[in-house]
Amino acid sequence: MIKVKNLTYYFYKPIRKEGLKGMIQTIFSRKKEVIKAVDDISFEIEEGEIVGYIGSNGAGKSTTIKMLSGILTPTSGSVTINGLEPYKSKSRKVVLKDVGVVFGQRTQLWWDLPLIETFNLYKDIYEINKDEYQKRLQYLTDLLDLSPFINSPVRTLSLGQRMRADLAAALIHKPKILFLDEPTIGLDVLVKDKIIEAIKQINRNDKTTILLTTHDMSDIANLCSRIIILDKGHIIYDGNQQVLKTRFGDIKHLLVLSEDKLNIDKIRTDLNNEEIDLNLLENNYQELSFDANKINSKELLKYVLDNYQIKDILINENSLTTIVKKIYEDIKQNS
């Protein structure tokens, strides 16, 4: 479906100097620095997959999406969608008919006009026939709960309403491929859930292939089985979410509320594992962290219950957020 091969995008930025003198120098200077926004990446996405595309700010995520959706032409390498390159002027219009894009930070809705006008406009642009359009519009209106504001001018919508409308606008022509660039940015929990649910349903019903960038790991955890992690234009991980967890340590945390002080040295020797850690948390819980691949949680739980007087006990899994944070930190230390 989507093939990305040795994709590279460089852009040139004039070197600016500080202050008034620097500004004047910049005007006449031809010095430029090369920014490698995306540097030789390759991957393939199959039909119906939902792929999370993550990376710290400036990692090259949006640049990749822009090349995939035909806005930017790669410096070298290629993107093909169903065998066609979206940034070539000849194939552009054909490819883009199957593509829907949402940029969370920018709207594609007609600002001064009622929301419905944007949908009508897209009906013409994508040449959707009348019956199909009505059906699709009804489906999306129900799915994203658009009816309360479908006749209001877009400029009067709240961010949550606008985002739902933006998603609907990207889906009105039943695209086979959907690119979402931070679709949940700045939204409250309820709207976010609604959007996540809608994306899931669209993927299930229409077999839509989805590539999603976000900084919110709960989006990824809820939606994507596959994750691609990007850093400084390079892919540093491409694979299953579960595998990511084992690879970067499947750390679990046992939280214990007890009058007794846990004896970490004794626990380590009794269970024959030196890697168990103990932390005292602010809410008086004592946290035992352990690698779930090396110690059975049942075993540890039994040991604690047998040896201490326990008021309360919880088990937390290491979240995707902590893993990704750890990966970003590792990268920062290594560079």
Partner 1 sequence: MKISNKIRKYRGFLKGGVLTCFAYKSEIYMWVISSVITTIITILLWFSIYKKDTTITHNGLTFYEMLAYLITANMVISAVSATNTFYELGTDIREGKIAINLTKPINYRSRCLSNSFGVLIGNTVLVMLPIFIISFLVLHFVTGLPLIKWYNIILFVISILCSLIIIDSLDFIIGQVGFFTGALFGIILMKDSIYQFCSGTLIPLSFLPKTISTVFRFLPFSSINETPTYILLGFFENETIVSQDYFYSLTGNSVPLTIVIKLGIQIFWAIALLLLSYLANKKINHRVVSVGG
Binding segment toward partner 1, per CB under 8 A, in 66-74, 193-201, 219-227, 264-272: 66-74
Please give the angle made by the CA atoms of 201, 217 and 296, to the nearest 5 degrees: 105
SS3 21: helix
Binding segment toward partner 1, per CB under 8 A, in 102-110, 185-193, 276-284, 312-320: 102-110
Give which of 84, 37, 53 is closest to 210, Cα–Cα: 53
| Residues 64 and 7: beta-carbon distance below 8 Å | yes
Where residue 229 falls (left for φ over 0; alpha for ψ -120 to 50; beta otherwise) is beta
Nearest distance from residue 207's CB to partner 1, in Å?
21
Nearest distance from residue 324's CB to partner 1, in Å?
16
Q: Is 113 in the site for partner 1 (CB under 8 A)?
A: yes
Q: How far apart are CA 98 and CA 81, in angstroms?
A: 9
Interacting positions 1-40 with partner 1 (CB under 8 A)? 9, 11, 37
The secondary element (H helix, E strand) that includes residue 254 is: strand 251-258
Nearest distance from residue 106's CB to partner 1, in Å?
6
| Residues 168 and 144: beta-carbon distance below 8 Å | yes
Q: Is 99 in the site for partner 1 (CB under 8 A)?
A: yes
Pairing between β-strand 209-213 and β-strand 310-317 as defined by DSSP bridges: unpaired
Whichever of 118 and 318 has its CB closer to partner 1, that residue is 118
Q: Is 121 in the site for partner 1 (CB under 8 A)?
A: yes
Q: Is 101 in the site for partner 1 (CB under 8 A)?
A: yes
Q: How many residues bind partner 1 (CB under 8 A)?
A: 43
Whichever of 67 and 254 has its CB closer to partner 1, that residue is 67
Nearest distance from residue 163's CB to partner 1, in Å?
14
Name the token pair of 291: 């690698």
User: Which residue of 7, 45, 51, 96 would you call a contact of partner 1, by CB under 8 A?
Assistant: 96
Q: Is 74 in the site for partner 1 (CB under 8 A)?
A: no
SS3 165: helix
Q: Is 153 in the site for partner 1 (CB under 8 A)?
A: yes
| Residues 226 and 52: beta-carbon distance below 8 Å | yes
| Residues 67 and 75: beta-carbon distance below 8 Å | no
User: Which residue of 4, 51, 123, 212 would you call a contact of partner 1, by CB under 8 A?
Assistant: 123
User: CA dihedral defined by 135, 137, 140, 144, rounded to 10 degrees?
Assistant: -140
Nearest distance from residue 180's CB to partner 1, in Å?
12
Name the token pair of 81: 């969608």
Nearest distance from residue 157's CB to partner 1, in Å?
15
Alpha-carbon distance values, 141 to 148, 153, 187, 188, 318 (Å): 10, 16, 19, 20, 37
Q: Is 124 in the site for partner 1 (CB under 8 A)?
A: yes
Q: Residues 110, 112, 116, 117: is their CA dihedral positive or negative?
A: negative
Whichever of 101 and 210 has its CB closer to partner 1, that residue is 101
Q: Is 127 in the site for partner 1 (CB under 8 A)?
A: yes
Nearest distance from residue 34's CB to partner 1, in Å?
12
Q: How far apart are CA 175 and CA 152, in angstroms?
A: 26
Interacting positions 33-62 with partner 1 (CB under 8 A)? 37, 55, 57-62
Binding segment toward partner 1, per CB under 8 A, in 18-26, 94-102, 143-151, 308-316: 94-102
SS3 40: strand
Contacts with partner 1, residue ranges (CB under 8 A):
9, 11, 37, 55, 57-63, 66, 69-73, 87, 89, 92-94, 96-97, 99, 101, 103, 106-108, 110, 112-113, 117, 120-127, 153
